[in-house]
Structure 1
Amino acid sequence: MVKLVTAAQMKVAEDAANAAGLTYDTMMENAGRAVAQAIEEQFGATGRHITLLIGPGNNGGDGLVAARYLSDLGASVSLYIWKRRNLETDPNWQRLESYVLPAVHRADDPQGQKLADLLERSAIVVDALLGTGVSRPIEGDLADLLRTARTVIDRRRTLRPPLLVDPIDPSPAEEIGPAVVAVDLPSGLHTDTGVLDPLTLPADLTVTFAAPKRGQVLFPGAAYVGQLLIADIGIRLEYLPEDLPQLATTDFVAGLLPARPLHGHKGTFGRAMIAAGCPNYCGAPALAATAAYRVGAGLVTLAVSPPVQGLVAPKLTEATYHLLPHREGAIAAPAAGALVEGLGGYSALLVGPGLGQAETTAQFLDDLLPQLPDIPLALDADALNLLSKQSRWWTRLPPETIITPHPGEMSRLSGVPVREIEADRLDFVPERARQWGTVIVYKGAFTVVAAPDGETVVMPFANPALATAGSGDVLAGAIAGMLAQRLPPFEAAVAGAYLHGLAGELARERFGEAGVVAGDLLPLLPLAIRELAG
């Protein structure tokens, strides 16, 4: 995994690297080369017209280095210089002089016409204006510069291919572009908070150095990052504090996946019990149970009322059933004892998907918690809504219970408005995990998973295809399936959340961002596991 850092933490790491012998000049050389290589790999550089917007600080220095490497790759490179003074003593400018690249200085283009002309004919624009150390609002001349750039780029991006009327002699499609590449982070995005200046250029690709920045996974700024590439520029990550949130990586999650021995049987891969469903929400149990199977659980049993079982069983042939007492189809208070009696031999219990909030179901949950044997527990959906109505609800849960709130549920559980939670989610979620003694899976774009000891992992997925009813039931089932396979709660939560996110990416590739339904994710979960396993 890779640590998510603030601007101050990144500065400490850079200073430590310099003191250890990796000079600032070498870091800048490595950074600029990484930007050029990323452009070559993502878009191709040869023969492309690339304009680099060069600022006065280290970010601009990275851009000057990138210009040299892009020129070596065969790109047609132009520079637009803003407030970079003393060029005669700037080593990166001096190294560029022999390239004789066309350069426009902002002082010679106060109205921005030359900038507009450059951007009109650019296939790629590199934003190397402001780096991680800048947090002030954009104003004055830079605001005018970015306003011009946004106007040209936004207009060019609205162009669309003409309707193909004549398949024999179609009109040529107009170019859609240019691509914008941000150096370290888009200018105007706050490194630590994700707060966004209105004039920030939305990037298609951000090449960030050494470690991802917190603001790159916090909204609204995260929406302007585009594809995020983390470039190694030689800084050793042990210079960073140990207790930082981390971004989940493929290699880390692959290492969590349970082994699948050739001699294994269904007991080897665990048994999950899922207490779920009411007449209004019959799909949730089926989605959760299938997800648990699809991530490898050996046996999944649905603890449901007979009316719900009658509706679910025809569409879910693999599950077994543990029928519970009910009132008008909702799981009723006497079901607590019946469920506990049926838990022998099971390795995980999930309660909540589609449970409903009937008064008798609330009593069921209230009676269940103190009776539970020593079994890994996950609570989702209405189980959380019912819990939130009790004061100090967390004192009633077994240690390391997994809870999976979305922002609204988290607000109800904590009593804190969603707006405040979202503004501070990378600190708020681990703080509550410590306070409550639970593993929290805070759902949404860049899902946050936090353990009671403060360890925090952020999923690298922000995908509107997952914004659909039932997606959370699939996530809960995937976590339960991992828990059933005897992963510790935090690891089960991380693995389940990552697989859910990766399945969402596969669904987006197959169907697009609109129209994906929760059931589409189910057959993609084993494909996600296969992709992780290599």
Structure 2
Amino acid sequence: MKLVTVAEMRSIEQRANEDGYPFATMMERAGAALAAVVQQRAPRASRILVLAGPGNNGGDGLVAARLLAQGGFAVQVCLWQRQGLESDDLYAQATSAGAKFFQWTDATALNRLNEAVEHSDVIVDALLGTGFHGSLRNGADALLLAVQTALTRRRTLAAPLLQPVEPGADCPDEAAPAPRPLVVAADLPSGMEADSGAIAEQALVADVSVAFGFAKRGHLRQPGVDAVGQLIVADIGVSPNYASAVATAVTTPAEVKECLPPRRSDAHKGTHGKVLVIAGSANYVGAPGLAARAAYRSGAGLVTLAIPAALQAPLASQLPEATYVAMPSDMGVIAPQAMSVLAQTLPGYSVMLLGPGLSQEKPARGFVEALLQHERQGARTTLGFLHQPPAEPASLELPPTVIDADGLNILAQIPNWSTLLPENTVLTPHPGEMARLMGDAPWAQESDRVEQARIAAEQWGCTVVLKGAFTVVASPGEVTQVIPFAEPALATAGTGDVLAGTIAGLIAQGLKGHAAAACGAYLHGLAGRIWAQAHGSAGLLAGELADLLPTARQRVLQA
């Protein structure tokens, strides 16, 4: 599902209009979508307040007002800055349908607004749309503040009058009191910037936002996302083909379902790939196990942990399904001498995951640099013992590689590190790691996460998974994916290791880096949501998240 900027949406609508699908029809479809959401989300509501502004957003609101009035609702419309009513067909049609109007500039407007907010079951916010930028002006701030003040008097901490009703469920009792009205935003809350997600202090927080045609970038950006509520993308009749050139999309369950590798009835563990996890140190014992657990839970056939020898006993007791390679170590971390062991171990693995819990001690830095330079310099394969002399040149080709955590932090300390990356590399930085990787690059100050990840992927020639609320997945020549999850429960230690292991596990099963990253991030976010729906927003353990990956996968397959 494409995720558009304001400029892209205008271009799409303009092209559709030029091809014979008029703006008026788009507006009619948008208003009908608004009215349908009101009726579906509040089936027992009777009184509707519509806030309508001067532009197309206000027009969408007037169409909804007409349709709701025709449907038997008592509709009041507060007009702001809408001029030329004598020639406004939308106004005339809504009036004929029975909607009642008042202007915000009227002397009695505040009293009428207070009364309407006090008694309305639903408020439709259609004041300002995607054209808004900057600050609220010309009385819009006062109008929205007045609505907020009136809402405060209506037990604003309570739930909306009527929650979404599942098909076949009993409707709420008609006599139940209205603690506060349901707020439905037309496209996005008035006072929110559609591209940046910036939002005015006076903006109404919506329970539902009905995006017209396509989701806008601001719908999935802080701080505006907190005012969006439930996001519904409504079809306004514009062909998706008009958005074919849009290079950003929201990852959907259908797309993940299509990408997930099938599980054949005659499969064996080799069918589903082999993951080598190079990770761990004396201070970070758990990270390798979390990554390996996630790789298994994502469907990989075999996972091997290449770890400092001292970690093998505790990790094997936690994850007996894995196999283990004891790596030479120094100061409790993997040492450069481990390259000789790795040279014998690596052939035959489908994917390599480097970094969880690796540490940034000098021996670990030396090992990572030696590993990444190995394809260019080569090394003679010999048995590995601690303190053995450096190996001599020979050839070793690295498989597709996922680099996470301290692997990324070490990368950032290597000059021209991006030139050392193997082909088909996936980097999984959180914002702090991303900042270290970018250094003083000219584009490091880019505030748009989508653009930052896209530029990074192009500059570094790899897949970049920029973690956080609404994780971004970007690769050269691919549509940038935004993962539609922002789960506070995931803000805890070890969830990044789980994500890296999930992506590695999917690569092992045959997915390319970009698809594996997008699918893995989606399953990771969905697993977090499944946990949060059962337990709330705090207390998740990363191991629990890994164990929910099969449930998330099954939910996608059944969608």
TM range (shorter): over 0.9
Q: How far apart are the structure 2 equivalents of 1:173 and 1:123?
A: 12
- Partner Cα separation in structure 2 for residue 246 and residue 439 of structure 1: 16
Q: Could you tell me which residue of structure 2 aligns to residue 164 of structure 1?
A: none
Q: CA 1:419–1:81 in 2, change beyond 3 Å: closer, same or farther?
A: farther
Match of 1:494 among 496, 509, 518: 518
Q: 1:212 to 1:314 in 2, by over 3 A?
A: same
Answer whether contact 2:308 2:326 (CA < 8 A) is retained.
yes
Equivalent AA in structure 2 for residue 326 of structure 1: S
Alpha-carbon shift at residue 420 of structure 1 (Å):
6.2
Map of 1:455 onto structure 2 = 479
1:358 is matched with which residue? Answer: 361
In structure 1, what is the Cα distance between the partners aligned to 2:127 and 2:298? 45
Residue of structure 2 in register with 1:65 after alignment: 63
Query: Which range is displaced more, 425-434 or 240-249?
Result: 240-249
Aligned residue among 87, 90, 101 for 1:89: 87
Looking at structure 1, the residues matched to 285 and 10 of structure 2 have their Cα atoms a distance apart, in angstroms, of 53
**Contact map agreement 1:340 1:373 (CA 8 A) in 2:** no
For 2:290 and 2:179, the matched residues in 1 are separated by 40
One-letter code aligned to 1:26: T
| 2:433 corresponds to | 409
SS across alignment from 1:112: helix
Match of 2:2 in 1: 3
Distance 1:345 1:155 in 2: 67
Counterpart AA for 2:463? V
CA distance in 1, matches of 2:149, 2:134: 22
- Alpha-carbon offset, residue 283 of structure 1: 1.6
Equivalent AA in structure 1 for residue 119 of structure 2: R
User: Does the residue aligned with 2:529 lie in a helix, a strand or coil?
Assistant: helix
- DSSP-derived class of the 1:108 partner: coil
Which residue identity is paired with 1:296? G
Determine if the alignment matches structure 1 residue 124 to structure 2 residue 122. Answer: yes
1:160 positional shift: 5.0
For 2:211 and 2:288, how far apart are their aligned partners in 1? 42
Match of 1:445 among 449, 457, 469: 469
Counterparts of 1:52-201 in structure 2 under 5 Å? 52-109=50-107, 112-154=110-152, 156=154, 158-159=156-157, 176-201=179-204
Contact 1:128 1:187 in 2 (8 A): yes
User: SS of the residue aligned with 1:322?
Assistant: strand
Which amino acid is 1:379 matched to? I
Q: Report SS of the residue matched to 1:46.
A: coil
Counterpart CA distance in 2 for 1:173 and 1:315 is 53
Which residue of structure 2 aligns with residue 168 of structure 1? none
Distance 2:462 2:138 in 1: 48
Q: Which region of structure 1 is more displaced relative to structure 2, 398-407 or 14-23?
A: 14-23
CA distance in 2, matches of 1:346, 1:241: 37
* Aligned equivalents of 1:310, 1:331: Cα separation in 2: 16
SS state at 1:140 partner? coil
Cα distance between partner residues in 2 of 1:64 and 1:270: 57
Matched residue, 2:412: 388
Matched with 2:533 is: 509
Work out which of the residue numbers 233, 236, 244 in structure 2 matches 1:233.
236
8 Å Cα contact 1:333-1:364 kept in structure 2: yes
Note if contact 1:31-1:209 (Cα within 8 Å) is conserved in structure 2: yes
- 2:223 counterpart of 1:220: yes
Runs of 4+ in 1 over 6 A off after TM superposition: 417-420
1:254 counterpart residue number: 257
What are the superposed Cα offsets for residues 460-503 of structure 1, whole Å, 9 maximum, x if unpaired? 11111111111111100100100111211111111111110111
| 1:529 matched to 2:553 | yes
Q: Is the 8 A contact 2:280 2:307 kept in 1?
A: yes
Alpha-carbon distance between aligned partners in 1 of 2:551 and 2:301, rounded to the nearest angstrom: 17
| Displacement after TM superposition at 1:110 (Å) | 6.3
Q: Answer yes or no: is 1:518 the counterpart of 2:542.
A: yes
Query: What's the secondary structure of 1:126's corresponding residue?
Result: strand
After TM superposition, the structure 1 = structure 2 runs for residues 310-349 of structure 1, keeping only pairs within 5 Å, are 310-349=313-352
Q: Is the 8 A contact 1:411 1:418 kept in 2?
A: no
**Matched AA of 1:292:** A
Identity %: 45
Q: What amino acid is aligned across from residue 239 of structure 2 in structure 1?
A: R
8 Å contact 2:70–2:97 — kept in the other structure?
Answer: no
Cross-structure match for 1:467? 491
Q: Is contact 1:45–1:73 with CA below 8 Å preserved after alignment?
A: no
Moved more, 419-428 or 502-511: 419-428
How much does 1:243 deviate? Answer: 4.6
Show CA shifts across 1:138-178 (max 9, x none). Answer: 023111101111223355454459xxxxxxxxxx9985533
5+ residue gaps, structure 2, are 160-174, 375-395
Question: Take 1:178 and 1:202, find their aligned partners in 2: how far apart are those partners?
Answer: 12
Q: Secondary structure at the match of 1:350?
A: strand
State the secondary structure of the residue aligned to 1:103.
strand
Q: Deviations over 1:86-119 (max 9, x none)?
A: 2232222222223322322212246623212211
Distance 1:469 1:511 in 2: 18
**Following TM superposition, by how much is the alpha carbon of 1:422 offset from its aligned partner in structure 2, in angstroms?**
6.7
Instruction: Give 1:423's aligned amino acid.
Output: S
Moved more, 489-498 or 69-78: 69-78
**1:479 corresponds to which of 503, 519, 534:** 503
Q: Residue type matched to 1:36 in 2?
A: A
Alignment of 1:16-31 (within 5 A): 16-31=15-30
Report if the CA contact (8 A) 1:270-1:486 is conserved.
yes
**TM-score, structure 1 normalization:** 0.93
Equivalent position amino acid for 2:121 in 1: A
Residue 346 of structure 1 and its aligned partner are, at CA, apart by: 1.1
Q: Does 1:50 align with 2:17?
A: no
Distance of 1:184 and 1:14 partners within structure 2? 14
Residue equivalent to 2:164: none
The one-letter code sitting in structure 2 at the alignment partner of 1:260 is R
User: Which 5+ residue runs of structure 1 have no aligned equivalent?
Assistant: 162-171
Report SS of the residue matched to 1:268.
helix
Q: 1:373 and 2:397 equivalent?
A: yes
Asked whether the equivalents of residues 51 and 78 of structure 2 are also in contact (C-alpha less than 8 Å), the reply is: yes
In structure 2, what is the Cα distance between the partners aligned to 1:275 and 1:40? 55
CA contact (8 A) 1:411 1:421 kept: no
Q: Contact 2:69/2:98 (CA < 8 Å) preserved in 1?
A: no
> How far apart in 2 are the matches of 1:527 and 1:315?
21
- 1:324-372: per-residue Cα shift (whole Å, max 9, x none)? 1112431112112212311122101101111111111111111111335
Map Cα deviations across residues 284-335 of structure 1 (whole Å, 9 max, x no partner): 1111111111111011111111221222221212111111111243111211
Q: 1:211 aligns with which of 193, 199, 214?
A: 214
1:434 corresponds in structure 2 to 458
Match of 2:12 in 1: 13
TM-score (normalised: structure 2): 0.89
